[in-house]
Structure 1
């Protein structure tokens, strides 16, 4: 499904056209959609489904989709790729920060690790990368503790997955991703973390960090001078029309580590560009 999106998307096509090919790929292999396909050039807005927007050079496409097997187990992956043959230098810089955040979070996966720790690991890696570009300043541990990273990463790192793409969450996230002693946060950002509890062998989950430049949120927080001790808003404004990038994969927690589910799919910027050669 993702290969179809990455290899078939061209300038001048609509989001609908690509989403149709993605969904057709699942059906043609005897599968079904695990959830409505997210495919958008406006990746800064989370869970934005395909529409009539026309792809143009210089933009990026965020595709978040998954198939359901005959046993009804769900898959859930995300890739972000350029409409052009290659990422711009600015896009590649941000892409590589997201990739490093994903890799840092994946490295924490094992029984006994609290997934909240994995999430905060990704948050700090995102701020580390953004600080190198001048968008962020100050002590990064303090910035994460305060929640300054949520200007760029407003959601949670991942979720449990099973026969529903968000496994069992209809009974309540506090019962699935949390415990009697580990309560769900009400803070912006952390309140969207679906899974925080200690990982156990047999858990199946997603890891999906992202960076999202939401113009309305940037303007609001700048006017309020929110987290101004950590955020260089003048630098951030240069990214207000950037969009968003997410990279997502699925994992099984094993006896002492983790296992990637499914065949590996290109995810470095260079490998994505190789698939975009046309």
Structure 2
């Protein structure tokens, strides 16, 4: 954990952000989740917003923040089995939990109902975030005496906006955590580069990357994408045997000890060298990514950065024969999204897609920037104006998705702008993506973490 004063200051900052709002804020932590019976559990992961404001990484906690006072209360689930110490060891004392989180009060969880009832009788507003786990919905339903169906419709927008405003800008101690995660992520990616070769199964490489996580005592930030079918954007299967000439997308990242995420993608040529038809695409993609990073600065919208990257991509893909006409028209029409159908990146922090549980429209958009209905652009997770110390990913890609190519051709989408025969020639080429974690600084941006090879000669050397 950080120093207890960090969490006290964050809770006070939340009060200030919520302005004249009154009442209490309820922030439930997570419970343990069983795999198939009560004592066989998934690895525990705390709710990120609870972690941000209270810091405690243990199940069965509920935080209550009084908006009209400086009193913060931590409710703790009591152990009902006196023999639990045999199986789980001695739990931290309540005094330790209160000191570590900087809370003035700590009470048994059963008393949370009394606190909520008191607030309700006094007609004080109850502020909570939309739950994304059924057990959290059940807890809120019971405390607030509302149906589970009613909970999602009664979340506090003022609380959401306050949490987003605080969490989207990273403090130096948070950047340090992200960089510590990236140091382990570098080990994972360099090992994958050394081991990726013909005849190896994808699952073998994934197992070796997870061995590094196990050795460091860390969790993965998300299930890794390691696949020679990189055109399937969220391909979480690892059953393919790699063959010479394949391109493999390796999208993998570690969490830091305090739960901050990393997220890096590299594209690897299985034979150790990019083939003649692959190298121009890879060179172009790297140019697009570096162009996008150079555009980053406070005050620019990420929508404009995405469009700048798309224009650079369209120019290059036109030169390679995939598109016809004016690059500006290729972007404005959305034709470019045939090979780049997702957004340029997303915020990153305690969640790998930071705060996405609060609603992407709250996190990636604002009153000035709304979601486009256009294919490709509508998939942007982040579009709003950037601020200093926002931390985000920059991850352009080029994909050859056979079903999408066939569908668009049959429907005659952008037929004057797309050279469909050229795309069909590459329909088995898979996908390419390059991704780094970047922090927006006062006059530009900086790629976080140690250097993970991405220039083609460096990738080939790392794989030799």
Superposition TM-score tier, normalisation by shorter sequence: over 0.9
Higher relative contact order at CA 8 Å, sep ≥6: structure 1 or structure 2? 1
Match of 1:49 in 2: 236
Instruction: Find the aligned partners of 1:97 and 1:18 in 2 and give their Cα distance.
Output: 27
Whose radius of gyration is greater, 1 or 2?
A: 2
More displaced 10-residue stretch of structure 1: 42-51 or 206-215: 42-51
Instruction: Find the aligned partners of 2:416 and 2:321 in 1 and give their Cα distance.
Output: 13
Match of 1:224 in 2: 411
Higher helix fraction: Structure 1 or Structure 2?
2
Are 1:154 and 2:337 an aligned pair?
no
Instruction: Find the aligned partners of 1:49 and 1:268 in 2 and give their Cα distance.
Output: 26
Matched positions, count: 277
Q: Does the CA-based 8 Å contact 1:96-1:269 persist in structure 2?
A: yes
Normalised to the residue count of structure 2, the TM-score between the two structures is 0.59
Instruction: Find the aligned partners of 1:50 and 1:265 in 2 and give their Cα distance.
Output: 24
Are 1:102 and 2:289 an aligned pair?
yes
Instruction: Find the aligned partners of 1:261 and 1:248 in 2 and give their Cα distance.
Output: 11
Instruction: Find the aligned partners of 1:78 and 1:26 in 2 and give their Cα distance.
Output: 17
Match of 1:165 in 2: 352
Q: Does the CA-based 8 Å contact 2:263-2:435 persist in structure 1?
A: yes
| TM-superposed deviation, 1:30 | 2.6
Secondary structure of the corresponding residue to residue 142 of structure 1: helix
Of residues 239, 261, 280 in structure 2, which corresponds to 1:74? Answer: 261
Instruction: Find the aligned partners of 2:274 and 2:338 in 1 and give their Cα distance.
Output: 23
Are 1:204 and 2:391 an aligned pair?
yes
Match of 2:368 in 1: 181
Secondary structure of the corresponding residue to residue 93 of structure 1: helix
Match of 2:194 in 1: 7
Match of 2:327 in 1: 140
Match of 2:18 in 1: none
Q: Does the CA-based 8 Å contact 2:197-2:272 persist in structure 1?
A: no
**Which runs of structure 1 show a deviation greater than 2 angstroms over 4 or more consecutive aligned residues?**
none
Segments of 5+ residues of structure 1 without an aligned counterpart are: none
| TM-superposed deviation, 1:247 | 0.1
Instruction: Find the aligned partners of 2:374 and 2:391 in 1 and give their Cα distance.
Output: 26
Q: Does the CA-based 8 Å contact 2:368-2:384 persist in structure 1?
A: no
Secondary structure of the corresponding residue to residue 33 of structure 1: coil
Q: Deviations over 1:56-78 (max 9, x none)?
A: 01101110010000121100000
